[in-house]
Structure 1
Amino acid sequence: MKRTITPGARTGRVRIPASKSQAHRLLICAALGEEKTEVVCDGISADIAATAKCLSALGAKIEEMETGFLVSPIKKVPEGRCDLYCGESGSTLRFLLPIVGALGAQAVFHREGRLPQRPLAPLDSVLKEHGMTLREDGDLLYCSGQLIGGNYTIAGNVSSQYISGLLMALPLLIRDSLLMVSGPLESAAYVAMTEDALQLSKLTIPKMGAMWAIPGQQRCHLPKRTVVEGDWSNTAFFLCMGALSKEGVTVEGLNLHSSQGDRGVLDVLRRFGAEVTEHGDAVTVKRGALHGVTIDAAPIPDLIPVLSVVASVAEGETRVENAYRLRLKESDRLKSTADLLRALGGRVEEKKDGLVITGVPALHGGAVETQNDHRLAMSAATAACAATGEITVDNDGCVAKSYPRFWEDFGSLKGEGL
């Protein structure tokens, strides 16, 4: 439904929910283990729920509790077809596709929204070369066959999720495997998160340069109780609100040494000129003399919409580079971000693989079309902190994909000076 957001800077404190990226990985490791595991997860988004439901369809027993999930691992894959409803979650699809092959399951992935249009190449070809059969029929993706060990080579500049999915699947195979990444590895921090989850699961995945030598016949062994850390991707929205506020915003519940790539928001905000203070499990950001910067989108693609909001009121010019992959997200995020800024009075030029944003004194408010993209809706809320007029978003419910309680947490902040 539509939501109208009152303009003006905000201040206050927010405790951020669990990391969606880490929750996917820990749930999968728990389901591929040998013993029951509690995955403590503060806040269950639509994407996390999709992964849990798909793992249940593959034979895991997953009980949703007030504190997260109790996971009994997959002992035997159900006979016949497994229907896997992954919604719009690219992580669910790309992580579980090779795992379905490793389990030798027959499955159908049900995809929604833009997910059927988002790329699967070259992962699909690699899986076919190693024993799987894949067939697309509209929103459905049929897969069968037993994935076999061997030498795997995959490009590193399309999606780190392909590499993460293979890293989680290959230890399950009978034969050993060698996973090689060709070309530059973008979003390397997300692969590091997967390595962390696998190491926590006591799997052996030695890395040698741009390749991993992966022994087969392994099972995950997570601790009996595993806590998902706070989400840096969602933290970025509130920290950017802080960068637009003299009194600032504090976000609590964070691992300040996290391998999550979106922790990089701190560096970018410091370069913008914001005042950033780290303390315990919290970060406080306050407005400084904001000025334009150059942002490499390759390691932090999900942050570009909200960082572009900060850029829109930073003095001078901000250049966003290496951002072509944003066109393959829940919306074409380069175009959608440019459209959002223009609708609110920002000055932006859209390039093939980036944006050039010239700062203005303030945004003037207006109507934002979210394209059913959660990050655009939350970026619009952030933009209200730099606007002089009301901002209306056409679909506030899309935030459920990653942050169901976003509007509640946003509403807990007070207007600056009140």
Structure 2
Amino acid sequence: MTKEPIIINAPASKSLSHRTLIAAALANGVSEVSSILDSDDITRTRGCLTACGAKIDEKDGKLIVTGMESGPKGGNADGKHKDEEPHELFMHESGTTCRLMTAVAAAGYGSFKVHGAQRMHERPMAELVTALQKLGSTFEFAEKEEFLPFIMTSKGYTSKKVEITLEESSQYLSGLLLGAPLTDHETTITVTGKKAVSWPYVALTLRIMEDFKAGFEVEIKNGKKWEAVPWRSIKVVSPGKIRFIVKPTGYDPTHYRVEGDWSNASYFLAAGAVGRRPVLIKGLAADSLQGDRAIMDILSQMGASIKVTFDGILIEPSTLHGITVDMGRCPDLVPTVSAAAAFATSPTTITNVAHLRIKETDRLEACALEVSRTQAETEIVEDTLIIRPGRLPNGHAIDFTTYGDHRMAMSMSLFQLAGIDVTLDNPTCVNKSFPGFWDEWEKIIG
């Protein structure tokens, strides 16, 4: 007899919550945003937007966002008021807030003090800093060149062209795209470099820009000619062969509902595959542009039974086998997949994930070390993580290190479903993206 599924409500998308709030705050008017994620990272973005001149109020579970009248405003930019302090943009540990908001603030006018927690000061920003310097911003670094903390002074994007790579992060491009509609001229952003990671996150940015009526075109190089193409048709990005022409349209205020988050749903999808009861997840869009929707395909390739129903996404307990998978487009899923791989009957090879080293922690090293505590053998070879499953130690207690990384905490919890007594050194770090995680997780293990 089939067991009744455990019902889980997916939290709102973190990626879309950041982008929706930013677009609403840049719009000329009042927007109403519902179902937005309430988490530490989103709180940081809210704080930065209000520091730049937006007004954000809560009413009946929705956010009422009154946009900035003329783009982000900082402190003294022209030397007339020497005693005026730069406006403070405090990122704490939110890399998304840092990259998006730094680029957006640079499209405004004034001086901005950009800083965060210590880990944020260690994460690279050179790629974005160089692009913003070419667009007219100046930087005064407090400690180390091209790293936080710094004071950025801007008078908008004064140049009409800029290049950016997607080798480290797609968020640099997303930040420039979000800022560019505030200019008084067209801005051409060309993708360069050797490879492009995390393209689906750029697609989310374009979707929000389109929904808030910011004008842009995407062009692909065909031979020596640039040709405009529908942005939704782009699945793979070739550096040097794609560029974005952003129009000086600004944003229109919009009433907007944020869809469910595939990244945070991934732990529950994996739980349905490796646990003893089916799991039904509600609130996810099966046709979502979120890159982490790939968890459905990855778990299916590993042998999981997944069905899209009218009620939600249903996943049933299955015997998993190992696969080889390129996760360059969905790096946030690597902790989930590496944990699920330890339940499989054969090895899993995860490729193209070098950029995991510059997340909240060195997430590549962290996944290898923590999964190996379950008697699996793990190995890192350049940008690849190999997991050779062992016999999961049912009935044993294992202390896992989270490194203060929300995704490590949530993914290592999956080992409870193997009968392991899981202890985490910092379970509250899930508040960064999913404060309600433990309440939902209790349904899985209770």
- Structure 1 and Structure 2 fold alike (TM over 0.5): yes
Q: Is the 8 A contact 1:12 1:414 kept in 2?
A: no
1:82 aligned to 2:87? yes
Q: Which residue of 2 aligns with 1:290?
A: 320
Structure 1 runs of 4+ aligned residues shifted over 6 Å read none
Alpha carbons 2:274, 2:319 under 8 Å: kept: no
* Equivalent of residue 376 in structure 1, options 402, 408, 412: 408
Sort the Cα spacing of 1:375 and 1:134 in 2 relative to 1 into closer, same or farther, 3 A. Answer: same
Aligned counterpart, 2:216: 205
One-letter amino acid of the structure 1 residue matched with residue 100 of structure 2: F
- TM alignment of 1:126-275, pairs within 5 A: 126-138=131-143, 140-146=149-155, 147-182=157-192, 183-209=194-220, 210-216=242-248, 218-223=249-254, 225-275=255-305
**Residue 234 (structure 2) aligns with:** none
- Counterpart of 2:29 in structure 1 is 35
Counterpart of 1:390?
421
What runs of 5+ residues in structure 2 fail to find an aligned partner?
77-85, 221-241
Q: Does residue 48 in structure 1 map to residue 78 in structure 2? A: no
Residues 285-308 of structure 1: CA deviation (Å, up to 9, x unaligned): 112221000121201100001101
* CA distance in 2: counterparts of 1:116 and 1:79, whole angstroms: 22
The answer (yes or no) to whether the contact 1:11–1:414 under 8 Å persists in 2 is no
The answer to whether structure 1 residue 333 and structure 2 residue 363 are counterparts is yes
What is the TM-score with the length of structure 2 in the denominator?
0.87
Residues 260-285 of structure 1: CA distance to partner in whole angstroms, max 9, x if unpaired?
Answer: 00000000000000100111361111
The percentage of counterpart residues that share the same residue type is 32
Deviation at 1:414, TM superposition (A): 4.5
Relative distance call for 1:313 and 1:413 in structure 2 (3 A) is: closer
SS at match of 2:158: coil
Structure 1: give runs of 5+ residues left out of the alignment. Answer: 1-9
* d(CA) in 1 for partners of 2:393, 2:171: 35
Aligned partners of 2:305 and 2:44: how far apart in 1? Answer: 38
Mean Cα displacement is larger for which, 149-158 or 317-326? 149-158
Moved more, 89-98 or 141-150: 141-150
Deviations 1:108-147 (A, max 9, x none): 1121141111111211111112210123324522100222
Identify the range of structure 1 (243-252 vs 392-401) with the bigger mean alpha-carbon deviation.
243-252
Aligned amino acid, residue 411 of structure 1: E
Q: Counterpart of 1:5?
A: none
Residues 12 and 249 in structure 1, CA contact (< 8 A), matched pair in contact too: yes
After superposition, the C-alpha distances for 1:41-86 in whole angstroms (9 at most, x for unaligned) are: 2540100111011100000011134524110011252544211111
Alpha-carbon distance change, 180 to 412 in structure 1, aligned in 2, over 3 angstroms: same
Q: Tell me the amino acid that sits aligned with residue 163 of structure 1.
A: L
55-64 vs 240-249, greater mean Cα deviation? 240-249
Distance 1:281 1:166 in 2: 38
Indicate which of 19, 43, 48 corresponds to 2:13. 19
Match of 1:352 among 382, 393, 397: 382
Q: Is the 8 A contact 1:30 1:36 kept in 2?
A: yes
Question: Cα deviation per residue 1:76-110 (whole Å; 9 max; x = unaligned)?
Answer: 52544211111111111111112111112211112
1:149/1:175 contact within 8 Å kept: no
Contact 1:190–1:261 (CA under 8 A) maintained in structure 2: yes
More displaced stretch, 180-189 vs 268-277: 180-189
Q: Distance in 1 between matches of 2:24 and 2:316?
A: 39
